[in-house]
Amino acid sequence: MNKKLQAHTAVLLANIFFGVNYITIKSIVPLKLSAPALNVSRVVGSSVLFWLLFLIKPSAPGILKKDIPRFILCAVLGVALNQALFVKGLSFTSSIHASLLMLVTPILIIFIAAWILKEKLTALKIIGVITGVAGATLLILMKDVSHTASNIFLGDVLVILNAVSYAFYLVLVRPLMKRYSAIHVIRWVFTLSLFFMIPYGWHDSITTQWQNFTTSNWMCFAFVITGATFFAYLFNIYGVEVIGASATGSYIYTQPVFAAIIAMIFTGEAYDWLKLFAASLIFSGVYMANYKPSVS
């Protein structure tokens, strides 16, 4: 298998992990542990694994003093706030809703990059943003007919706020990616996020009834930390380095497919014509907002 094919396979696996992650989290949160407790475990576990990887393949460990504030901001937006909002929101809404709403992230990146980095905002991009936001709004206002969501409106709003947080992170992290390797950035972003995530979820972690976990619960828990966090981030990083950010980012469109298949099999969630219409608006909006005409 050549390197590019390996990279495409790795990125596809990462997005399969992300897709499965929706239903995996819902199977244990809040039934077996709270969202803050899972967030702490997720960040601590992944940080340890990233530093173990550093011991296997050492590199320059530090960061420049001038970059520390940006690293801290990225840790807050890209991990602490992002994951807190996502897990809490997912516990309230359905897997299919959450996976579709996450597609708003590329649309938000266009808008935020135009604001912060002064990137050009064309008419087609504006139409794409409006179309995508319309689809997301339709989903948020939609009732849950599968009865897998306890508060679909609140959950959807939290997932959207999570997408906003992550979009800001992806824009702000770009300058760091030019000075450091991708895995170096991710390692420090996760490490610095511990200072925010541990106070947020420590009490929930120590009061969780871990002894009541079944084998299935532990398998889901382990998958969220290793598969859906550590390996998913690692595989995406590999994809960015080998096939580029654009090709890697395009695989996000596969997440709702994997999430929907798993959700329909295990929880009875289903697509209806209104969800399909909202999904088509979001997909169309993402396409228009990211469309780049070929240069002859």
Q: What is the DSSP string of 14-26?
A: HHHHHHHHHHHHH
Question: Could you count the other beta carbons within 10 Å of the beta carbon of residue 198?
Answer: 15
Look at residues 71, 93, 102 and name the one whose alpha carbon lies nearest to residue 196: 71
- pLDDT, average across residues 137-155: 70
Handedness of CA 96, 221, 159, 122 (dihedral sign): negative
pLDDT per position as a tens digit, 200-224: 999 999 999 999 999 999 999 999 9
Per-residue confidence (pLDDT) for residue 296, from 0 to 100: 45
Specify which of 19-28, 42-51, 52-61, 285-294 reaches the highest per-range mean pLDDT: 42-51
pLDDT per position as a tens digit, 159-215: 889 888 888 887 888 888 888 888 898 999 999 999 999 999 999 999 999 999 999
Let me know the angle formed at the C-alpha of 55 by 49 and 58, rounded to the nearest 5 degrees: 120
Region of poorest pLDDT, from 47-56, 123-132, 230-239, 285-294: 285-294
Look at residue 271 and tell me whether its pLDDT is greater than 70.
no
- pLDDT, average across residues 269-277: 72
Per-residue confidence (pLDDT) for residue 2, from 0 to 100: 83
Per-residue confidence (pLDDT) for residue 148, from 0 to 100: 60
Region of poorest pLDDT, from 39-48, 67-76, 147-156: 147-156
> How much of the chain, in percent, has pLDDT values that exceed 70?
89
Per-residue confidence (pLDDT) for residue 72, from 0 to 100: 96
Q: What is the DSSP string of 241-254?
A: HHH-HHHHHHGGGG
Q: Find all residues with CB under 8 Å of 277, minimum gap 6, and list them.
A: 135, 138
Question: How is the chain split into domains, by residue range?
Answer: 3-290
Average pLDDT, the chain: 84
Cβ atoms 25, 84 nearer than 8 A: no
Which position has the higher pLDDT, 236 or 222? 222
The dihedral formed by the CA atoms of 182, 184, 186 and 187, expressed in degrees to the nearest 10: 160
pTM of the model: 0.80
Per-residue confidence (pLDDT) for residue 149, from 0 to 100: 62
Per-residue confidence (pLDDT) for residue 293, from 0 to 100: 65
pLDDT per position as a tens digit, 4-31: 889 889 888 988 998 899 889 988 998 8
Q: How confident is the model at residue 58 (pLDDT cuts 50, 70, 90)?
A: confident
pLDDT per position as a tens digit, 110-143: 777 777 767 677 788 788 778 877 877 777 676 6
Look at residue 147 and tell me whether its pLDDT is greater than 60.
no
Per-residue confidence (pLDDT) for residue 160, from 0 to 100: 87
Per-residue confidence (pLDDT) for residue 38, from 0 to 100: 96
Look at residue 146 and tell me whether its pLDDT is greater than 70.
no
Question: Could you count the other beta carbons within 10 Å of the beta carbon of residue 55?
Answer: 7
